[in-house]
Amino acid sequence: MTVSKLSTELLDQLLSDYKKPEDLIGENGLLKQLTKALVERALEAEMEHHLGHARHDSVTNPAGNARNGRSSKTLKGEFGELPIEIPRDRHGSFEPQIVGKHQRRWTGFDDKIISLYARGMPVREIQSHLEEMYGTEVSPTLISSVTDAVTDEAKAWQMRPLNRLYPIVYMDCIHVKVRHDGMVRTKAVYLALGVNMSGEKELLGIWI
């Protein structure tokens, strides 16, 4: 099916929600889904570092500590409210650092999340962003573990299979303030948004 064969009713249905770039980066935008995935992946990497073994692996720490489900928390920031799931351990000794136990606000990270998912970002820059996101001194081993996990998450999103056909594709651009080398610069972020045959919006790619 080509765009020319689509009915006016279907086009109206596909276009019913998208009106402005905020539909991608606003309170209910697709960026929140990426933010949630990346933060939760970082927390899982922290837990792995804390316990000394990956999920489903044998318990190797002397205390016999292991994972024990998750707890829910809602963060507030420029993106509005973001519900996340935080892993727990049996002994209750896990202290998450990217999102502290009593932390409820998370500000200044939208541009970093966009950068982490944008194509072609070297590992060193991801590592630098993560150090800023933690906002505190953490061990190089932890940063390395989280960097590996986040890099895998970002690459998985970049390499995910797309549909063969999107009847509608939007190309858009937003401008964000990015702190780099101690200076705040304005950078253009290019977005490709596709609407699939079911009328659902998909963020196809992000480029800075």
Residue with tokens 């063969």: 164
Where helices occur in the chain by DSSP H, the ranges are 8-14, 22-25, 30-51, 110-117, 123-134, 140-158
pLDDT in tens, 185-202: 788 888 888 888 988 888
Domain ranges within the chain, ordered by starting residue: 25-158
More confident call, 98 vs 167: 167
Q: Is the dihedral of CA 33, 36, 42, 44 positive or negative?
A: negative
Please report the pLDDT score of residue 91 as a whole number.
92
Contacts of 197 (CB under 8 A, 6+ apart): 1, 163, 165, 167
Give the single-character DSSP code of 159: T
Give yes or no for a contact between 113 and 129, defined as CB atoms under 8 angstroms apart. Answer: no
More confident residue, 184 or 136: 184
DSSP annotation string for 53-79 = S-TTSPP-STT---EEEEEEEEEEETT
Mean pLDDT of 18-28: 56
pLDDT digit string, tens, across residues 72-128: 988 887 667 888 899 999 999 998 888 887 777 776 666 667 667 665 567 777 777
Share of the chain above pLDDT 90, in %: 10
Question: When comparing pLDDT for 78 and 42, which is higher?
Answer: 42
Instruction: Read off the tokens for 83.
Output: 């519900």
The model's pTM is 0.62
Half-sphere exposure for 75 (CA within 13 Å, toward CB) = 22
Position with higher pLDDT, 180 vs 17: 180
In this model, does residue 5 exceed pLDDT 60?
no
Distance CA 61, CA 95 (A): 16
pLDDT tens column, 130-155: 777 776 666 778 878 887 887 787 78
Q: With contact defined as beta carbons under 8 Å apart, do 43 and 87 qualify? A: yes
pLDDT (average), residues 26-46: 77
